[in-house]
Amino acid sequence: MTIGSPPFAATLDPVLRVGTRIEQTGASSKKRVRIEEVARLAGVSPITVSRALHSPHMVSEARRLRIDEAVTQTGYASNPHARALKSGRSNIVAAFLSTLASQQYTQAADGCARVLEDAGYHMVMGRTFYSYARETPLIHAIMDMRPAAAFITGVMELEENRSFLRNLKIPIVESWANASDPIDMLAGFSNVDGVTLVIDHLAARGYRRLGFLGRNSGRGQIRQNAFEQLAAQRGLEIAGTLSVPNVAGIADGRRAFRRLIESASGIEAVFCANDLLGIGAMLEARTMGLTMPGDIAIVGFGDSDVASEVPPGMTTVSVDAYALGAAAGEMILTRLSGDLPDAPSRIFPVTLIQRGSS
């Protein structure tokens, strides 16, 4: 049931406002301060101002102070485009997210942006989710802005794009996987390790007949392969698997779970390759009158916000996406500062958080 907007939809809401109202200062757009003006004020040449800002150690103490003062007095900020044009490098960092719909990725972007912001870099977003056809032009368009670095939530899959990025010779962090030959650097975790934790947990709890629910591509597929191999190694039986092409929301998980349960028999525990599927599965299990973990055990992957809150709490593999993004940002900064980072790749631990569902 949906009730429409009231007739007075144009009513004005109160709006919070802070600070004093400033008188319009006559001429609207003040002309921008240029480096030359700062130089005049400080009694030096423009290039000295530039150096005082970018390589302070090359300028004498006395002048540097005079220049700093002139800068704050005028409110000078260098024109990023002029700088980028001349130097061939900008203060932007490209972030390629497969989708903005997943909190995992936006959390990572958040962490990365946070770190970069403090160093004066800003993030431009590329959304690569939709198709390979859109991906390549998007990458080129963004890379035309000569970003100082790039962060990718995932692994760039098209070899054509990989080599394009590699040739740019800028710091690049791939993530969310454990690639053996990253384009440049990696802030990742091992999907296989995560699945191993799941399998060992299920085995230890005595579950023998297992089910799998996942996406039929990308990480979903990696996790499924690992799941099947490891189950075989441990002598566990795969009683049913169901792969779906795309997961847009919790409803997909409900549907998939029901189909899986109805099509296979005797499944004791289901591993859901992501939390959206897992949460849907738990809700549907409840609807179907199945108790957890008595009738069915469910384990997810991702530890999203709700995993802990859906009764009786979902057991899931957890990765700290924010921390991963922040680490990526730090790797980038280290590299930009001229140092080589400690390691070209940093593997984050995965942990299994056991809750009521298993």
Partner DNA sequence: TTGTACGCGTTATCAG
Partner DNA sequence: CTGATAACGCGTACAA
Summarize as ranges the residues that interact with DNA (CB under 7 A): 32, 34-36, 44-48, 50-51, 53-54, 57-60, 62-63, 76, 78-79, 82-83, 85-87
Identify residues 280-339 at the interface with its own copies (CB under 8 A): 280, 283, 286-287, 305-306, 308-311, 318
Stretch that binds its own copies, among 62-70, 244-252, 257-265, 267-275 (CB under 8 A): 244-252
Which of DNA, its own copies, none does residue 48 bind (CB under 5 to 8 Å by kind)? DNA
Tokens 């390549």 locate to 136
Rule CB under 8 A: choose which of 6, 206, 245, 338 binds its own copies.
6
60's contact among its own copies, DNA, none, with CB below 5 to 8 A by partner kind, is DNA
CB-CB contact of 211 with 271 (8 Å):
yes
Q: From the list 57, 131, 169, 265, which residue makes contact with its own copies (rule: CB under 8 A)?
A: 169
CA-closest candidate to residue 113, choices 133, 132, 92, 134? 92
Helix (H, G, I), strand (E, B) or coil at 90: coil
Sites for its own copies among residues 78-137 (CB under 8 A): 78-82, 84-85, 90, 92, 95, 99-101, 103, 106-107, 109-110, 113-114, 117, 120, 122-127, 132
Binding-site partner at residue 349 among DNA, its own copies, none, CB < 5 to 8 Å by type: its own copies
Nearest to 302 by CA among 162, 187, 191, 136: 191
Between 44 and 93, name the residue whose CB sits nearer to DNA: 44
Residues ≥6 apart with Cβ < 8 Å to 287: 254
Write the DSSP assignment of 162-222 as a string of letters. Answer: HHHHHHH-S-EEEESS--SS-SSEEEEE-HHHHHHHHHHHHHHTT--EEEEEEESSHHHHH
Structure tokens at 83: 């700088």
Residue 155: CB minimum distance to its own copies, A: 6
Alpha-carbon distance of 290 to 116, in angstroms, equals 47
Nearer to its own copies, 22 or 340 (CB): 22
Q: Is 124 exposed, middle or buried (0-12, 13-18, 19+ CB in 10 A)?
A: middle
Among all chains, which residue has been given the structure tokens 């300028």? 59
Closest CA to 152 of 184, 181, 180, 121: 184
State which of residues 68, 193, 228, 237 lies at the interface with its own copies (CB under 8 A): 193
| Cβ neighbours around 296 below 10 Å, total | 22
Query: Which of DNA, its own copies, none does residue 159 bind (CB under 5 to 8 Å by kind)?
Result: its own copies
Of 18-26, 47-55, 57-65, 290-298, which segment contacts its own copies by CB under 8 A?
18-26
Beta strands in 74-155 (DSSP E): 92-97, 122-127, 149-152
Nearest-approach distance from CB 281 to DNA, in angstroms:
52
Q: How far is the CB of 126 from its own copies (least distance, A)?
A: 7
CB of 40 to DNA, least distance (A): 11
